[in-house]
Amino acid sequence: MSTLANTNRSLSDWQAMAAGLNIQTGLFIDGHYQSAKRQGSFASVNPATGQTLAMMALGEACDVDAAVANAQVAWRDGRWHKLAPRQRMDVMFNWANLVEQHGDELALLECLDMGKPITDVLNIDLPDVLRTIRFFAECIDKLEGAVTHTAANALHTIVHEPLGVVGAITPWNYPLLMAVWKLAPILAAGNCVVLKPAEQAPLSCTRLAQLFVQAGGPAGVFNVVNGTGQEAGRALALHHDVAKITFTGSTAVGKLLMGYSGQSNMKRVALETGGKSPQIFMPDLYDLDAAVDRAVGGIFDNAGQVCNAGSRLLVHRSLHDQFVDRFVTRTRELYQPGDPLDPATTLGPLASHAHLGNVQRRMDQALADGATQVLPTPAFTGPGAFCAPALFVGAHNRMAIVQEEVFGPVATVQAFDTEQEALMLANDCQFGLAASVWTSDLNTAHRMVSALEAGVTWVNCFGDGDMSQPFGGYKLSGNSRDKHASSLTSYMQIKSSWFNLQR
C-alpha cells in the first residue's frame, strides 16, 4: 500500500482514525514493550490542542542500563551482525514494507505528537523514510574490503566491521525521518542500537521499533528508551558499553555529549547541531518569482523547525524591495495555520508551548535591537502552540536574530552590494550547515560555492537532493554526515590483518 494513496482523505476521516489509534506507551527493550523500572511517566501532548495523547513510560538511567545490556547480549551472540548480508537485507526490506503498510498510522502518530500537517507527513516525511531504509538495505552486500600488495610471504586484508552497540539521540522536528537517517545505516552496518527519541515526540519511533521486530529483526537489536535528555540521554552518552553516540539537536547538548565521551570510554561522537543557513540572491538570478517561492519554503516549511532552514536572506540591493514585497505576499498565500489533521493545513503549530515562548522572546529581542517586522504576526487564540511566519528587515550581523538559531518560522533580510560583501555576511556565523546561491552565471556560482563555509550548498534551488547527498555541516553545525553511503561506514571500524604465510 502506498503511503501516498490516502492524501485525499478528509479532516473527518483522519479525526475518526485518530480516535481509534492504539498508542503504545512503554519502553521497547528486548523485543517487547515494558514499563519503566521506577514506574515513572510523562505526558505526550498534542501541540495543536494542548491535550495529552498518552502517558509515556519515563526511562531513567536504570532503564538505559537494561536496554544497553540487552543490546550487548544481542551483539555478543551475533544474532544480527553474523547473519548473511542477504538475510539482513531481507529484514530491512521487510521493515520498509511494513512501514509503508502502516503509513497512515505512523503519519497520524507524527501529526498528533509533533503537530506536523498530515499532508506533509504523507508526501514528504514517509516517502523519505522508505527511501532511506531501502537505500541502506541495498548497501549491505555492496561493502568491500581490500587486499593490499605485499611481499609473497604475507597477506594483508582490510575489512570493515560493525562497532557493537550504538546510542542514537534524535530530535522532535522530524521524529521519524531523523531517527531513520541514523537507524538505517546503524542497522545496515550490523550494529545493535539503543534509541532515545525526543521526549516531545516519541510515539512514531516507539512503533518503528516494533515494526522492525515484526519484519524479522531479532529481539534486542533495536531498543527504545523514552525519557529526558538530562537523564536518559546523559546515561546513554556516559555508558561504557556504548561504542558510539549519534545525535541531532542543539549545539549546547552536542558539546555536553563530547564531554561525556571523554568522561567514559572515549566513544565516538557524531553530531549534527543545527544551522543558520544563508540564501544569497544575486542581481542576475533567472526568475525572481521562482526564487522567492523557494526562499519562502526554505524557511517556513515545517513551521521553520528545520536544522538547515534558510533563515538568512541575503538580497542584492537592486532586488531588495521587490523581493521583500513578493516574499510577504507569497507567504500569506502559501502558509495557512489550521488543524494538522486537515489536509488543507499548510502551517502546523510549533512542537510545544515552551518552544513557542522561546521563539517569541527571540522576535521581541529583534525588535528591541532595531529590526523591523514587515510580516506581522497575527494573534492566535486557542490552545495550540501556533506561530505565524515572521520576516524582519533592517537586521545586521551583530543581532542575535541573525546569529542564533531560532528554530521557528522567522527570517531576516539583509541587503548587500557586492559578491564579496554577500560572502562575508554569509560566512560571518558560528554555524555552517547549508547555504544557497541564486545566479544565472556559472562562474559566479562556482566561485561562491567554493567560498561558502557550509557542508551542503545549493545553486538555484534550496533543499533539493537525494540519498547520494551527504548531509552535515561545518563549524558549530557538527561533525557528522547523514544519508550518504559514507554514513554506513561511519558506524563501522576498520580492521587491518597481516598474515605471515611462512613458518
User: What is the per-residue pLDDT across 161-212, written as a single tens digit (0 to 9) for each?
Assistant: 999 999 999 999 999 999 999 999 999 999 999 999 999 999 999 999 999 9
The cell 560571518 sits on which residue? 428
What pLDDT, in 10s, does the model give residues 204-217?
999 999 999 999 99
User: For the chain, which residues make up each domain, given as ranges?
Assistant: 27-40+53-273+480-495, 278-466
The catalytic position among 100, 110, 199, 272 is 272
Kindly report the average pLDDT of the chain as a whole number: 96
3-state secondary structure of 431: strand
Instruction: Give dist(CA 373, CA 394) in Å, integer.
Output: 9
Query: Among 214, 1, 208, 209, which residue's Cα sits nearest to residue 104?
Result: 1
> Across residues 73-81, what is the average pLDDT?
98
At 4, the pLDDT band (50, 70, 90 cuts) reads: very low
For residue 8, name the pLDDT band (cuts at 50, 70, 90). confident
297, 275 in Cβ contact below 8 A?
no
Radius of gyration of the chain (CA): 23
Task: Give the DSSP per-residue string, 57-79.
Answer: E---HHHHHHHHHHHHHHHHHTT
How far apart, in whole angstroms, are the C-alpha atoms of residue 403 and residue 393? 14
CA–CA separation, 38 and 251 (whole Å) = 31
Structure confidence at residue 2 as a pLDDT band (50, 70, 90): very low
DSSP 3-state of 364:
helix
What is the amino acid identity at position 276? K
**pLDDT band with cut points at 50, 70 and 90 for residue 254:** very high
Q: What is the pLDDT of residue 5?
A: 44
pLDDT of residue 1: 31
- Residue 232 to residue 366: CA distance in whole angstroms: 35
Q: Are 309 and 299 in contact (CB under 8 A)?
A: yes
For residue 376, pLDDT beyond 80: no
The CATH code belonging to domain 27-40+53-273+480-495 is 3.40.605.10
pLDDT at 493 over 90: yes
Q: How far apart are CA 449 and CA 429, in angstroms?
A: 16
- Does CATH place domain 278-466 in 3.40.309.10? yes
Do 239 and 223 touch, CB atoms closer than 8 A? no
404 assigned to active site: no
CB 328 within 8 A of CB 374: yes
List pLDDT tens digits, range 93-144: 999 999 999 999 999 999 999 999 999 999 999 999 999 999 999 999 999 9
The reply to whether 27-40+53-273+480-495 and 278-466 are identical in fold is: no
- Confidence class of residue 382 from pLDDT cuts 50, 70 and 90? confident
